[in-house]
């Protein structure tokens, strides 16, 4: 956020303006530029890629260092308690989310009357579905360094947790030599994590420009057509996202005697970043910063629950799966039974766990959900045409999914911190 120390020089006006305001201006100008210049606005794409790359650059070092420090500063027994709480919360809200998606889709009937023939093909996309058991097994990295270099978040969470717990054990050893080496290692990781937070602050200064470019490209490509024939499915999904963010999370906060407006004020940077970058993992640096600096969540909890949430808790993706499964069956004139809808709830929760926090991941995992009710995508089929339509507007849908995903992670983290009596209530 805005620094108390005023910056001088020709760019002073930029650095001295409130960061959030700058990001919002970037967003509005980006949309306007996209609509005015159309597809040719893509020349600004590299400016958006810079932001995405910067966020990606910092994400693995940030997860590793802060998670190791987080795990090393909690007693192993406590970590288990936080783990169970956050896991239960993540699963419950994901199931609730996909139910909301199905309900809104049953009300709005997106895709009904489309009557797709067997003409179009699936836009030539080659799509493979990751098996669910394989996804679970892959959490244990065969080679942690390989996982780190390939940016695989879940295996790194797993390894960092174990490594951090190891440090905690060594630090608390009776043997003074072991104790000392444990302490040294702990402070090294602690220092490294602090450096990552500083870098995040620098990256944020660039965010308004990156946001401008990212939004301009989306509007330039999809502009009016994005709100055309697919308007209803977009609307349906967004009603679901809004219900989840305003209603479900609102009720959670109210039950815990926490103010929604305070939450929103503290979390808005992360929410906007999620919306424009379409990546929970990419947003992570900002999510972590908002939670600790604005909302009083201790880093030892957020460094564990947020990276985990960015990877396994995808409430927006779950809503999207419910809505899109119904869109596709409606579009091709298939009947969906109540049993099918239950199957969708189950598989959508699993698929959202398996979705990576990167742009477009949910659209691929949707295939796993469709498969569970016996729908497969064959090139040239009506199902493929309906799927290709949704893929065409995936950027728009992904924005809503990701803001919901990230908000859900933050709410869970706040609730767990409150439950553990670790939430700094002076911030509320």
Is residue 424 classed as helix, strand or coil in its secondary structure?
Answer: coil
The string of DSSP letters for 244-294 reads IIIIIHHHHHHHTT--HHHHHHHHHHHHHHHHHH--HHHHHHHHHHHHHHH
Closest CB to ligand ASP among residues 236, 279: 279
Q: Of 48, 322, 357, 412, which one interacts with ligand ASP (CB under 6 A)?
A: 357
Distance CA 209, CA 216 (A): 11
Assess 407 for contact with ligand ASP (CB under 6 A): no
Closest CB to ligand ASP among residues 74, 393: 393
Closest CB to ligand ASP among residues 85, 401: 401
> Least distance in Å: CB of 365 to ligand ASP?
7
Closest CB to ligand ASP among residues 73, 222: 222
Distance CA 417, CA 422 (A): 5
Stretch that binds ligand ASP, among 42-50, 219-227, 284-292, 358-366 (CB under 6 A): 358-366
Which one, of 198, 416, 155, 168, lies nearest residue 305 by Cα? 416
Stretch that binds ligand ASP, among 96-104, 168-176, 275-283, 377-385 (CB under 6 A): 275-283
> Least distance in Å: CB of 203 to ligand ASP?
18
> Least distance in Å: CB of 90 to ligand ASP?
13
Distance CA 344, CA 373 (A): 7
Assess 278 for contact with ligand ASP (CB under 6 A): yes
Assess 373 for contact with ligand ASP (CB under 6 A): no
Distance CA 396, CA 370 (A): 21
Assess 359 for contact with ligand ASP (CB under 6 A): yes
Closest CB to ligand ASP among residues 55, 385: 55
Assess 285 for contact with ligand ASP (CB under 6 A): no
Q: Of 99, 279, 311, 417, which one interacts with ligand ASP (CB under 6 A)?
A: 279
Using CB positions, name the residue nearest to ligand ASP.
Answer: 362
Distance CA 281, CA 359 (A): 9
Assess 358 for contact with ligand ASP (CB under 6 A): yes
> Least distance in Å: CB of 27 to ligand ASP?
18
Which residues 6+ apart lie within 8 Å of 359 measured at CB?
277, 278, 279, 395, 398, 402
Stretch that binds ligand ASP, among 140-148, 207-215, 297-305, 355-363 (CB under 6 A): 355-363
Assess 168 for contact with ligand ASP (CB under 6 A): no
Assess 314 for contact with ligand ASP (CB under 6 A): yes
Distance CA 174, CA 34 (A): 63
Closest CB to ligand ASP among residues 399, 415: 399
Burial of 84 from C-beta contacts in 10 A (0-12 / 13-18 / 19+): exposed
Q: Of 69, 170, 232, 361, which one interacts with ligand ASP (CB under 6 A)?
A: 361
Q: Of 65, 303, 313, 317, which one interacts with ligand ASP (CB under 6 A)?
A: 317
Q: Of 362, 400, 408, 412, which one interacts with ligand ASP (CB under 6 A)?
A: 362
Assess 93 for contact with ligand ASP (CB under 6 A): no
> Least distance in Å: CB of 251 to ligand ASP?
22
> Least distance in Å: CB of 310 to ligand ASP?
7
Contact 268, 49 (CB under 8 A): no
Is residue 36 classed as helix, strand or coil in its secondary structure?
Answer: helix
Q: Of 83, 130, 151, 360, which one interacts with ligand ASP (CB under 6 A)?
A: 360
Distance CA 270, CA 410 (A): 9
Which residues 6+ apart lie within 8 Å of 382 measured at CB?
116, 117, 118, 119, 120, 331, 332
Closest CB to ligand ASP among residues 179, 268: 268
Q: Look at phi and psi of residue 316 and say left if phi exceeds 0, alpha if psi is from -120 to 50, else beta.
A: alpha
Residues in 53-82 at the binding interface with ligand ASP, rule: CB under 6 A: none
Distance CA 242, CA 238 (A): 6
Closest CB to ligand ASP among residues 34, 359: 359
Which one, of 39, 45, 394, lies nearest residue 220 by Cα? 39
Gap between the terminal Cα atoms of the chain: 18
Stretch that binds ligand ASP, among 33-41, 204-212, 329-337, 398-406 (CB under 6 A): 398-406
Distance CA 164, CA 157 (A): 10
Other Cβ atoms within 10 Å of 354 Cβ, number:
25
Binding site for ligand ASP (CB under 6 A): 278-280, 314, 317, 355, 357-362, 398, 401-402, 405
């Amino acid at each position: 956020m805005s620094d108390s120390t005023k910056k001088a020089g020709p760019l002073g006006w930029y650095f001295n303006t409130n960061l959030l305001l700058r990001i919002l201006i970037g967003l509005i100008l980006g949309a306007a530029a996209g609509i005015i210049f159309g597809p040719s606005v893509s020349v600004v794409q590299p400016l958006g890629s810079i932001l995405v790359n910067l966020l990606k650059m910092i994400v693995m070092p940030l997860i590793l260092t802060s998670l190791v420090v987080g795990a090393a500063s909690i007693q192993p027994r406590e970590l288990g308690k936080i783990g169970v709480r956050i896991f239960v919360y993540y699963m419950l809200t994901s199931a609730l989310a996909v139910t909301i998606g199905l309900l809104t889709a049953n009300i709005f009937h997106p895709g009904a009357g489309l009557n797709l023939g067997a003409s179009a093909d699936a836009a030539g996309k080659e799509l493979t579905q990751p098996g669910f058991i394989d996804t679970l097994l892959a959490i244990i990295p065969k080679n942690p360094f390989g996982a780190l270099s390939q940016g695989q978040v879940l295996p790194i969470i797993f390894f960092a947790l174990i490594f951090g717990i190891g440090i905690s054990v060594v630090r608390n050893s009776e043997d003074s030599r072991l104790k000392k080496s444990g302490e040294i290692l702990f402070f090294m990781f602690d220092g490294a994590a602090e450096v990552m937070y500083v870098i995040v602050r620098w990256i944020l200064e660039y965010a308004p420009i990156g946001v401008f470019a990212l939004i301009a490209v989306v509007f330039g490509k999809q502009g009016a057509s994005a709100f055309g024939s697919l308007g209803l499915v977009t609307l349906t999904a967004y009603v679901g996202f809004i219900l989840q963010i305003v209603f479900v999370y609102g009720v959670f906060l109210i039950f815990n005697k926490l103010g929604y407006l305070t939450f929103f004020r503290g979390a808005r940077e992360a929410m906007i970043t999620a919306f424009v970058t379409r990546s929970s993992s990419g947003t992570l640096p900002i999510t972590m910063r908002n939670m600790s600096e604005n909302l009083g969540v201790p880093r030892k909890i957020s460094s564990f629950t947020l990276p985990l949430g960015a990877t396994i808790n995808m409430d927006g993706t779950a809503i999207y799966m419910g809505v899109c499964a119904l869109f596709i069956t409606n579009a091709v004139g298939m009947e969906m039974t109540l049993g099918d809808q239950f199957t969708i709830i189950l598989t959508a929760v699993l698929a959202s766990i398996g979705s990576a926090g990167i742009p477009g991941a949910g659209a691929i995992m949707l295939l796993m959900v469709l498969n569970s009710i016996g729908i497969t995508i064959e090139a040239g089929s009506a199902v493929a045409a309906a799927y290709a339509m949704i893929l065409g507007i995936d950027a728009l849908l992904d924005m809503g999914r990701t803001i919901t995903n990230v908000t859900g992670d933050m709410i869970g983290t706040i609730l767990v911190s409150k439950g553990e009596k670790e939430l700094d209530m002076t911030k509320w």
